[in-house]
Structure 1
Amino acid sequence: MDIYATYARPNALARAIPNGVMSENFHSLWDRASEHKLAGAFKASIVEEVMNLIIDLYQLPLLEQLSQPKVGEWFYHVGSVRFRRTGSDTRQISIPLTGKTWVGTLWDENMLTTSSSHHMKNLMTNGIVIGCVTSETDADIFAVGRENILGTTGISETAKIITGSDTFAGPDALSDVISMLLSRYQEAISHTRGHQLLKGDQEEDCQVLFDILAKYSGTEVEVHREVETGVGPVDFVISGYGQQHALEFKVDRKRTDTLKHGLCCQLPSYLNARGYHQGWYVVIVSNQATGSGRSQEVFDFLNEQDFPAEIHIRVIDGRRQESASKRKDVIPTAEAR
């Protein structure tokens, strides 16, 4: 969505961003914005990127679609909102829906620009809100904006900074980018509870999460999902720096014959059919019943097979991670081949 942000609670938004590069860059960028001559405009551009990131990453539901809202459940709203001054430094926001009106409190200290107060009074017909349910009709509001009628194109410089975009060069540029994306994918699943977004052992859920992370990577590459090759659709094709790489995702179901076929026959067929420069075989270990060493077992098994040299292997531990205080070992990281 094209958003013109007017209000935000930065600490609440920062906690929603996956840990690691993105959250660190958010804090750094926010601090820099505070010292900028146009601090309000700079902060607003940051919030606009983060609002879109959170909506897409966590697949937030629209407020009107919550038939039985649960306390703590995040949502977003697009449409009419009303504002009413309730104190010297507070105002109420109301979200009128059929049969119910949701309300929340906004603090003046969190207004992003000097014109925010002007936009946030009386009725706003094109409002955009991100919040959290606190009771049957109350909500904790994290960010507010309105539709930007001017629109935007491409990835903004702000988005690149937030997501830690790097400048890659040389013949291995695209490989470096994809390796970085898969490392962030592993980080999101293992250390920021991304495993909760993977429902069971469905390959589609694994693909959707990677698609969102890649979309907001801030890198100068194009990501296309379910690309037809003539011999079947490959999960992803990533293009950039004069090359095209194909990615195939598999969920480990302890079927070594299936994993072997995907690596030695399926993915090579896609590469040959369309002339992709390199391939990436990504296996997700998501079954909680498997031991902590399963990721390394899969990685070792795959590397013993006879497969084309232009294929890289990554094994991602997608299981819910046990608390470090209870662990008896450290799960090894399966790096790129």
Structure 2
Amino acid sequence: MEREYHTKPVHQGYIEPHSATAQWNINDTVTIWASSQGHFALRDHTAKIIGVSVSQVKVIPMEIGGGFGGKGQGGCYLEPVVAILSRKTGKPVKIAMSRTEVFVGTGPTCGTHIKTKIGATNAGKFTAVQATLVYEAGAFPGSPVPSGCRTMFAPYEVSNAFIEGYDVVTNVQKSSAYRAPGSPSASFAAEQAIDELSRKLGIDPVELRQLNAVKEGSRQATGPVYRKIGFVEILQAAQQHAHWLTPIEGPNRGRGVAAGAWFNGSGPASAVVSVIPDGNVSLVEGSPDIGGSRAAMAMHVAEVLGNTCRES
């Protein structure tokens, strides 16, 4: 089964536009309040852009009105500007983008062009896969094509694989992350081809995925070996669920199945928990507040110590 697929750039569409406030201090340091998912990277980028040391820049992440990756490590747009203006004026400076400025000046997810080829036996067992991923980086190199290559066919056991990626510079704004950057486009191409293969072979699409599903000990095409993953069990549960077994009634109704993959990673992390003399607990940690993370961290500490969240 050999196919080609295209996807277009799509903006994350977060409800809150980018905004930043800076105060240049008398000790030649700057404090920045920003809507950011990646405040440590934002601190490092801002320091480099304005020509000061990292120790002179403090970034405070505010509550975020949506980000979806677009306000992550690559989202350094306003912060150097407000820092320089505050240094020049000696006063706090705030800038907030309009919706038009967000669409024109910030990074959407990249457009892609993906060629994929799957070889399989008549019984449905994958024997080889091949894929070429071309991702649009925008004005500067750095599309998420490595992540796309890593997740392409990652849910499936394949003994022979050739996957290559191209990072293409184009005359548009620099692309940015958007929900597992690079993976959805790759998964879309792989899963569409697998669906067509299932129809060609006359095999139920869930059964075809079960036949080739990765499990503990399976090696990905890019090298890493899976630990306990539960993909087979998920497919088995889905196959027995009413959402899959109930007859489809009425016009324009359909039903499908697809799988995707993502990997986890972390930079340096730390947290400090202190018991205050009045019996309350203080938690200091470095994550931004997105998706309720501040509340979640307080709940973790409360659960371990037997406190309530109000006491943490």
Per the normalisation by structure 1, the TM-score is 0.24
Judging by fraction of residues, say which structure has more strand. Answer: 1
Judging by fraction of residues, say which structure has more helix. Answer: 1
